[in-house]
Structure 1
Amino acid sequence: MTFTVAIVGRPNVGKSTLFNRLAGRKLALVDDTPGVTRDRRLHPAKLYDLKFDVIDTAGLEEGQAETLQGRMRAQTLRAIEDADVTLFVIDAKSGTTPADEVFAGILRKSGKPVVLVANKAEAKDAEGGVLDAYALGLGEPCGISAEHGLGLADLRDGLVEAIGEERAFAHHLEEEIETAPDGLVGDDIDDADVDDEDIPAYDATKPLRIAIVGRPNAGKSTLINRLVGEDRLLTGPEAGITRDSISVDWEWRGRQIKLFDTAGLRRKSRVQEKLEKLSVGDALRAIRFAEVVVILLDSQIPFEKQDLQIADLIIREGRAPVIAFNKWDMIENRQETLADLREKTERLLPQVRGLRAVPVSAQTGKGLDKLLEEIVSTHEVWNRRISTGRLNRWLDAAVQQHPPPAVAGRRIKIKYITQIKMRPPAFVLSCSRPDAIPASYLRYLTNTLRQDFDLPGVPIRMLTRAGDNPFAGRARKRR
C-alpha cells in the first residue's frame, strides 16, 4: 500500500516545479506568475527508492469562502486531509513571511506529519532563508532546488522519517502489476486480412479515457464534479478558472474511467497571454491522449464559431466525439429546442454523420447516465473492425450502383478495399489512378460505408493507393 504526499505553500514558491520533479514529467503548468495552479492534481511519483502518490495544490491564499481565492484554499485544505504527509514549501530566497507562519499553524493543527522544504536553496542569498525556517516550529528544513534537482536525497530521508519506514517501503512487499500501455492510440491494428470469426469482440471492461472540452464557462469542471460525486475540481461563475488539464480517476458501472478536465478554448486571436497559451497547449495534449472527447456546449448559445472549430479539431485528430448540450435545466421549450439542436448538429458537422448529441445539466445531474451510455456506444464504434471479405463484397455493390467517373477521358478501376487501422476506422482503397479520384466520390464511398456498416458519429479515414503493377521497372522493348 502506497502513501500520499500533498505539496502545499503560498503562491510562487515552486510547488508545481517540485511536483513535476517527483512525477518525472512536466505535467503541471509552471510560470513566474503567482497562482498558476488552481486545482488539485494527483499523480504517481518516485523519489529514489520511494514510491507514492503526490498532490499538487493551489497556493495557500487568504480570502472569503465565496471568492476564487477562498475556493482555492478549500481545495488545498481538502488535499491536506486526504494526504498522509505534507510537504510545506517555502521560498528560501525570500525567507519566511507572515503568510508562511499562518499556514504553518494550520498544518500543526491538522495533526498530519509535515516535512518543511526550503526551495530555491541554490541561490547565493538563500542560506539565511533556510535558517529562518526553523522559526516555523516544524522541524529541520530540507534545503532543495526543485528546478535543478538538488537536495532530493535529504527530502527522501525527511519523508521516510515523517511517514515511518514500514509505511514508506510497503510497496516493496507488493507485487507490481502495473504495465505500460501497448502503444499509441490508433496503432493497434496491423493485420488487414482477418476473418470475421478472428475479430475480437468489444471489451466493455477496459479502462476508458474521456476528455471534456469546450469554450470557457461551459461547465466542464462542474460536469466532472457531478459525475464523480464530489467537489473534486474548482468551479465558480468566473470564466477561465481551469488552467491545467486535470485527470480524475473514477468508476462507472464497474468500468475504470479517467476523466480529463481542460481549460476553456477561446479563439486563437484572443489568446495573447503566455499562461493562457500554456493552458491551451495542455488542453490539446489531453485531447490527443483521450479516446472519447465530450464537446460541452452551452445549450442557450450553442454552435458558436469556436464550438465548430473545437469539434473540427477533434475530428481531425481522430478522436471519438460526443456532444453534450449543458445547462438544459435553463431551457423552457425543451422538445422544440432539442429538435433544433439536433438538426444543427447534422447540418453544421456533416463530416461525422450520426454524431451523438445529449442534453445534460451538470448542475442537477440530469442526462448524465444517458451521456455515458452514448460515450460507450461511440467508443465501441470507434474500435470497430470489419473483415476484408465483407468490405470487398460491399465495394462491388457500391461501385456497381455508382461507378467512379471517368477523368480526362480515362476510366478509374477500383480493385479492392481493406481496413488498416481502428481508433478511428481507417481504410485503404486500391485503384488504378489514386490521384485522379474526385473527392466527391470518396465522400460517396465513406458515407455509404458508414451507413451500411453502422459507423455513426466517428471520423472515418478513406485513403487511396495505386495497385501493384507487374510491369513496373521493366525496360520497354525496342522494335
Structure 2
Amino acid sequence: MSFTVAIVGRPNVGKSTLFNRLVGKKLALVDDTPGVTRDRRPGEAKLIDLRFHIIDTPGLEQAGPDTLEGRMRAQTEIAIDEADLALFVVDAKLGLTPIDQELAELVRRRGKPVVLVANKAEAKGSDGGFYDAYTLGLGEPCPISAEHGQGMIDLRDAIVEAIGEERAFPPKVDEAVTNVSIPLPASEDEEEDEEPVYDETKPLRVAIIGRPNAGKSTLINRFLGEDRLLTGPEAGITRDSISVEWDWRGRTIRMFDTAGMRRKARVQEKLEKLSVADSLRSIRFAETVVIVFDATIPFEKQDLQLVDLVLREGRAAVIAFNKWDLVEDPQELLADLREKTERLLPQARGIRAVPISGQTGYSLDKLMQSVIDTDKVWNRRVSTARLNRWLDAVQTQHPPPAVSGRRLKLKYMTQVKARPPAFMISCTRPESVPESYIRYLTNGIRADFDIPGVPIRIHLKTGDNPFANRAKKRR
C-alpha cells in the first residue's frame, strides 16, 4: 500500500461506518451506542482509483489516562502517529462540540496532513454544522454521507491533494520474471497415495476465544510485546474481533482477538449480540482456536460449550489455562485440570491443554508449539492402503454387530479430506450402523493414527452395485 490513513473523531460521528464503506465490507461493528469501537482496527481501503491502508480508531474523549476512555484515547493517538494522513470526522448534523475543538488541536499538534470530513451531510439542517467546521482551522471540510456513499469522489480528491500525487499514485515497477521453475511430471514409480508433508512456512490463522475477562487481549499483547489491544480490569472491553499479525520462529501468525462470549440466555443487548456474531465469524475463519480458561475458576459450563462449539465447527482446538501466576498450588491444580479435561471433554480426547500467564508471559512458547502441533494433526492425511489394513484389523478384533440377523460388513475406507480429517467407509446398510460402533472407529483412528484433540468425521455410504441397472441376459 502507498500510504496509511487513520480515521479519528469523537464518539458516534460515523468513523466505523466510513471505515466499512472504504474497505467494502462490514468489518467494524456499527451501532447507535457511542463508543462501540475500542481498539484500532486495520484494513485495506479502496476509494475510486486510490489504494491505501486504513485504521479505524476509538472515539476521542476527555478522560484521565487510567480510565477506559483514557486508554481508548491512547490507542487513537498511537494510530495517528503510525499514519501518514488523518481523516478528522465531525458530525455535520449535530454540529461542533468543545470536544471537537480540543481534538482538532490534538491532531494539529501531531503535524500530520489532515482531511476534515463533515459526515451525515445528507441530513436536513446539516448546513450549519458544515459551515461551523471551518472554525476548526483544518481547511475546507469535505461533506459526505458514509452510510449512503455520497461525496466519495470529493473525499478522494481531498486525500490526493493532502497526501500528494506522487505518494497517492506510486509508480508501478515491472519486475522481470526470472528463475521460473517448471514442475517435472511425476515418475511412474512414485506412489499415487503418498501422504503429504506439512508446510512449516504457511501462514497460520489463530482465533483466541473465551469468557469475558479471561485475559484474551492481555495474552495477545504479550505475544506482540506491545499494548496493541485495549485491556483493563473491566469485563467485556473487547467488542470487535481484531486481527493482528506477527512472526513466531519465522512463521507468520495472524491472530484474532474476540469479544468474551457469555451464555446465550444472558446475551440480551443488541451490541453484545453483534459482538458474539463477530466472534463466531472469527472461529469459522480461523484454522486453530485457542480457548482461554480462567485457571482460578476453570471448567464453567460456558467453557465446555465453547470447546464443543469449536469442535462442531471443525476447527483445531487448544486449551490455555490462563492466570497461572495467581494459582497457589500449581502441581495439585494441574493434576486436577488434566483429570477434568479427559472426563468432561470426551469428544476431544487428547486435546492439548497448557497452563500459561498472559500477564507474565509464562509458558507462551509452549502454547504456540501446541498450536502448531495441533494444526499439523488437523492437516494430517492417511494413505488409503494403511486405512484399509487398519479397517480389516479392527473388524477382526471387534466385528460390527448383526442387525435383524444380518451381519454388517465394512468393505472399504479412504480419507476424503483433511482440515478436519474426514473418512468415508463403504459398507452394507449404513443407516443400520449403531452410533456406538462409529465412536469405536473414531477412537481407534484417533489412537492408531495419532490424531488427538481434533474433530474426526466418519461418513458411511453403501457400495454401488454395478449390475443394478443392467438387464439380465437371456439365454
- 1:99-130 Cα distance to aligned partner (Å, 9 max, x none): 11010000110101100000011112112211
Q: How far off its partner does 1:2 sit?
A: 2.0
- Preserved CA contact (<8 Å) 2:287 2:375: yes
- Preserved CA contact (<8 Å) 1:196 1:386: no
1:458 correspondence with 2:458 = no
- Preserved CA contact (<8 Å) 1:324 1:371: yes
- Structure-1 residue corresponding to 2:318: 322
- Structure-2 residue corresponding to 1:185: none
- Structure-2 residue corresponding to 1:95: 95
Q: Alignment identity in percent?
A: 71
- Change in CA separation of 1:246 and 1:174 when aligned onto 2, cut-off 3 Å: farther
Give secondary structure in 2 for the equivalent of 1:150. Answer: coil
1:353 correspondence with 2:349 = yes
- Structure-2 residue corresponding to 1:206: 202
- Structure-2 residue corresponding to 1:302: 298
- Preserved CA contact (<8 Å) 2:5 2:84: yes
Letter in 2 for 1:82: E
- Structure-2 residue corresponding to 1:85: 85
Q: How far off its partner does 1:139 sit?
A: 0.2
Q: How far off its partner does 1:95 sit?
A: 1.2
TM-score, structure 2 as length reference: 0.95
1:10 correspondence with 2:10 = yes
1:338 correspondence with 2:338 = no
- Preserved CA contact (<8 Å) 1:51 1:171: no
Q: How far off its partner does 1:234 sit?
A: 0.3
- Structure-2 residue corresponding to 1:104: 104
- Preserved CA contact (<8 Å) 2:28 2:240: yes
- 1:269-309 Cα distance to aligned partner (Å, 9 max, x none): 00000000000000000000000000000001101000000
Q: How far off its partner does 1:155 sit?
A: 0.7
Q: How does 1:136-285 map to 2 (within 5 A)?
A: 136-170=136-170, 172-173=172-173, 195=191, 198-285=194-281
- Preserved CA contact (<8 Å) 2:193 2:383: no
Q: How far off its partner does 1:196 sit?
A: 6.9
Q: How far off its partner does 1:477 sit?
A: 11
Q: Please give the alpha-carbon distance, in whole angstroms, between the structure 2 residues aligned to 1:150 and 1:464.
A: 55
- Structure-1 residue corresponding to 2:423: 427
- Preserved CA contact (<8 Å) 1:322 1:378: yes
- 1:151-198 Cα distance to aligned partner (Å, 9 max, x none): 0111111111111111111264477x9xxxxxxxxxxxxxxxx94763
Where does structure 1 lack aligned partners over 5 or more consecutive residues? 178-193
Q: Please give the alpha-carbon distance, in whole angstroms, between the structure 2 residues aligned to 1:172 and 1:269.
A: 54
- Structure-1 residue corresponding to 2:393: 397
- Structure-2 residue corresponding to 1:64: 64
From 326, 349, 372, the counterpart of 1:376? 372
Q: Please give the alpha-carbon distance, in whole angstroms, between the structure 2 residues aligned to 1:170 and 1:398.
A: 64
- Preserved CA contact (<8 Å) 2:193 2:384: no
- 1:17-60 Cα distance to aligned partner (Å, 9 max, x none): 00001111000000111111001000111111111111001100
- Preserved CA contact (<8 Å) 2:45 2:53: yes
Q: Please give the alpha-carbon distance, in whole angstroms, between the structure 2 residues aligned to 1:376 and 1:43.
A: 26
Give secondary structure in 2 for the equivalent of 1:170. Answer: coil
Q: How far off its partner does 1:257 sit?
A: 0.8
Letter in 2 for 1:166: E
- 1:326-380 Cα distance to aligned partner (Å, 9 max, x none): 0000112111111110111111111121100000000000010000000000000
Q: Please give the alpha-carbon distance, in whole angstroms, between the structure 2 residues aligned to 1:475 and 1:338.
A: 67
Give secondary structure in 2 for the equivalent of 1:86. Answer: strand
Letter in 2 for 1:45: A
TM-score, structure 1 as length reference: 0.94
